[in-house]
Amino acid sequence: MAGLKRVYMGSAVILTYHMVVDRETYSRALNPLRRSMVTLERFEEQIRFLSRRFRVISMDELGEAIKGGGSESYAVVTFDDGYRSTINNALPVLARHSVPAIFYLTTSFMDEERLWWLEAHDAIRKGARISVKGRDFRCPAGDAEQMERVLHEVIMLGSASAEGQEEVKNALRDCGAPPSAEAMRWDDARLLSGEPLAAIGGHTHRHLILAGLSEGEARAEVYLSKQRLEEELDMPVRHLAYPFGGAAHAGKREFAVAAEGFDTAVTMRRAGVHYEHQRQMHALPRYPVMQRDTPLLLGARLSGLEAFIKHRGRRVVI
């Protein structure tokens, strides 16, 4: 059984988290942001499960670990975007279970001390009118389905291009949206980078969909963030996470750009990491972790069987 399981699970699994929040924040949140939240209680259950079932290692150790071919199963824990709650809520849990993690930070959020999609979320919940390019994004407070659709549209508009994002940010300022307290600051990032269990990676400068940019723009987004992180934190940054990370967001061109200056880069292709990924270290797959993932469900998903069937037995999915 152990041998067969290795065929679809692989040698390692990489998990993706975003925000770790209290129950009230979770229950008030609108999708798509809500899908990127887990409550503190659920997070602790998941981390306890992971630390028992897997050997949780750092991203620096992954390359060596998958070469080994031994019987051990490895896991890497990752956090995207740069939210303050990861410091207050996630870090103490990681420390209690001695679990290392990497935090992929978006540098424009820290330069601006604002995180526009959280501001959009709060504004839409309050029923504010957001006017972008003469188009009004507004919905009656209380209609959750409509609010979620509008939030999704605003996030896509702000992720498609630098101009689109500038317009969304201006519109949010015009409607009086206050900066979100959840946006990580450089001081927070410095604190995080000093934690022995925490590593820092890049998540580009503005969190735009790289595949929609010219190659030069995509390279600038990736390497400006590396440069800003290295300047502010005074340490080398060797790991990257592509924003969104699906097949439509980052592909072969982005993998080649990442390989110019990073040791690893992670996507959101849902699968395990196999021995063969040694030659695909800039196209590493990851599993998102959600609130509904009890240890039982998480264990089933990380077994990789579902992904193995979906990808028709291909172990490396590009």
CB of 47 to Zn ion, least distance (A): 21
Indicate the residue among 40 and 209 with the shorter CB distance to Zn ion: 209
- CB of 204 vs Zn ion, minimal distance in Å: 9
CB of residue 224 vs Zn ion: minimum separation in angstroms? Answer: 16
262, 239 in Cβ contact below 8 A?
yes
Q: Which is nearer to Zn ion, 80 or 254 (CB)?
A: 80
Nearer of residues 100 and 245 to Zn ion, judged by Cβ: 245
Closest to Zn ion by CB, 89 vs 267, is: 267
Question: Shortest gap between Cβ of 90 and Zn ion (angstroms)?
Answer: 16
Nearer to Zn ion, 290 or 316 (CB): 290
Residues that bind Zn ion (CB under 5 A): 80-81, 243
**Which of residues 81 and 232 has its CB atom nearest to Zn ion in the complex?**
81
**Minimum gap (Å) between residue 16 Cβ and Zn ion:** 9
In whole angstroms, what is the distance from residue 311 CA to residue 317 CA?
A: 7
**Count of CB atoms situated within 10 Å of the CB of 181:** 9
- Residue 34 CB, nearest distance to Zn ion (Å)? 15
DSSP 39-101: EHHHHHHHHHHHHHHSEE--HHHHHHHHHH--S--EEEEEEEE-BTHIIIIIHHHHHHTT--E
Closer Cβ to Zn ion, 81 or 182, answer by number: 81
Residue number closest to Zn ion, CB atom: 80
Closest approach of Zn ion to the CB of residue 286, in Å: 11
**Are the C-beta atoms of residues 139 and 124 closer than 8 Å to each other?**
yes
Whether 243 and 249 have beta carbons less than 8 Å apart is answered as yes
Dist. CA 305–CA 4, nearest whole Å: 10
Least distance CB 279 / Zn ion (angstroms): 26
Q: By C-beta, is 268 or 273 nearer to Zn ion?
A: 268
Start-end of H helices in the chain: 2-9, 23-28, 40-53, 59-68, 85, 91-96, 107-112, 116-125, 144-160, 162-174, 186-193, 215-233, 252-259, 295-302, 305-310
In angstroms, rounded to a whole number, what is the distance separating the alpha carbons of residues 180 and 169?
13
| Buried/exposed code over 302-318 (b: 16+ C-beta within 10 A; e: otherwise) | bbbbebbeebeeebbbe
What is the rounded CA–CA span in Å between residue 304 and residue 318?
A: 16
Cβ-Cβ contacts under 8 Å for 61 (sequence gap 6 or more): 74
Q: How far is the CB of 200 from Zn ion (least distance, A)?
A: 15
Q: 243 or 304, CB closer to Zn ion?
A: 243
- Rounded Cα gap, residues 149 and 168, in angstroms: 16
Phi-psi region of 5 (alpha: psi -120 to 50; beta: other; left: phi over 0): alpha
